[in-house]
Amino acid sequence: MAAISLYHFLLLTLFPTLGGAGRDACKVARCSHKGPLIRFPFRLNFLQPEHCGYPGFTLTCNPNNQTVLRLPSSVNLLVKKIDYGLQTVQLQDPNSCLPKQLPNFNLSNSPFEFTGYSWSQYNLSLFNCSPPERSLGGLIPCLSVGGYRVYAITHFGSSSDLKFCVKIGGISSVPYDLLDGVDHQKRLHLNWSEPSCKVCEAQGKRCGFKNYTSPNKLGEGSYGTVFKGKLSSEVFVAVKVLNDSTGNGEEFTNKVGTMARIHHVNVVRLVGFCADGTRRALVYEFLPNDSLEKFIFSENQNSNTLGWEKLQDIALGIAKGIEYLHQGCDRRILHFDIKPHNILLDHNFNPKVADFGLAKLCSKEQSMVSMTAARGTMGYIAPEVFSRNFGNVSYKSDVYSFGMMLLEMVGGRKNTDATVQNTSQVYFPEWVYNRLCEGEELGIKAEEEEHGQIAKRLETL
């Protein structure tokens, strides 16, 4: 398993089919008649499809119909002009105080860089002085309040020069003249090198993804979107592009390293990953029969489309997969999101535990796991995960979720169902418990006695 460029991986695997229909939807857009024209590599979010822009070039319109570019570390700037030939963009701070946002600047994780200032970037220190120090220079009026003045300086001499000053922060690797002078409404110029469309623009041609058609999107969740991709003419994969990735990537890399060592027939296999700054994706084996959820929840509650023997095999396979995660790895892996949606089925309907977005690693010697907040899906979360009043969190929390899923597999409906006629049946576990205590059946009809025995075994696992 290896890391590869996310940009190139997405272009090669998510967009493999050739055709021109997708590009026709990429019409030029703008936030207002005075705003800049928006076309590739930029795209306007919610108006132009994702394939109309390059990763990292998404723009939005604010309530005032101004064009906004969001840079890493939540830096939002107004887009005043885009020069597609020179590949530069002019930006301005919405509050006319660009220095206020510069401490958060981190262009290393974006496709942009400072234009024409590569020879004059500095590490600056910010000082708040009272009374004003006329000899310092680098005054920033928009940060100065009352009798205090804020200065940005590259170096200073003796401590006596700053005896009335307090350091309030610093800014790394920025052009000094963005802070110098009194006109802080000036525009920031950034340029990009990739994708390179200069030759295409010079010839008057349209730049964009070549012969694009829409990918086959498999699903979308709170942590990312999953696409079907192709590594070769015969090998298909599922690519999960993660949302809002933060941090320096160390935790992501550690988790990937752990997942790469997992090899079990009932756990989905990680075949690769992509990491390019904050843009990250996981590449899994592709399983053609989707998730268990689509087979156990049907309009007819008494209908089992998989058959009771296969349902039993699936339940045992899931149990083996969870046992492997808890006992078979060097470090114990707690999944914390066991549910039918996260159980994928291969071409023979063999189950594989998938989606480790909420997983937590711990040593096998740990009898309990510390958690700062509950994690999981309502209806499957163990009581101790939701509230510490019920006990300590451990690997048994996954066992609880597995039990909830078994009840759904047997009952053929979700364990929290607000559509049932009797409100006492809304909480499925309590309804099942009461019926079993009273010696009543769960209302599951099996055509043969043997199938009924299977259902009972699943009920009491």
Binding-site residue numbers are 240
Which residue is listed with tokens 């063999």? 350
Whole-Å CA distances, 340 to 230, 290, 353, 406, 407:
26, 11, 9, 9, 11
Helix (DSSP H) and strand (DSSP E) numbers for the chain: 10, 20
Which residue is listed with tokens 């007819």? 300
**Residue among 276, 337, 355, 398 flagged as catalytic:** 337
Residues that constitute the known binding site for ATP: 240
Q: Around Cβ 454, how many Cβ atoms within 10 Å?
A: 18
What amino acid is encoded at 71 in this protein?
L
d(CA 258, CA 273) in angstroms, rounded, equals 13
Using DSSP's 3-state secondary structure scheme, residue 241 falls into strand
What amino acid is encoded at 343 in this protein?
I
Tokens standing for residue 416:
């929290």
Whether the Cβ atoms of residue 412 and residue 444 lie closer than 8 Å to each other = yes
Tokens standing for residue 61:
């319109």
Among candidates 378, 380, 354, 359, which has minimal Cα distance to 369? Answer: 359
Among candidates 22, 76, 69, which has minimal Cα distance to 50? Answer: 22
89 beta partners: 82, 190
Among candidates 383, 426, 428, 425, which has minimal Cα distance to 401? Answer: 383
What amino acid is encoded at 145 in this protein?
V
Whether the Cβ atoms of residue 121 and residue 114 lie closer than 8 Å to each other = yes
337 included as an active-site residue: yes
Counting other chains too, the contacts that 116-123 makes at CB distance below 8 Å and 24 or more residues apart are 116/189, 117/175, 117/177, 120/175, 120/176, 120/177, 121/173, 121/174, 121/175, 121/176, 122/154, 122/173, 122/174, 122/175, 122/176, 123/154, 123/170, 123/171, 123/172, 123/173
Q: Which residues are catalytically annotated?
A: 337
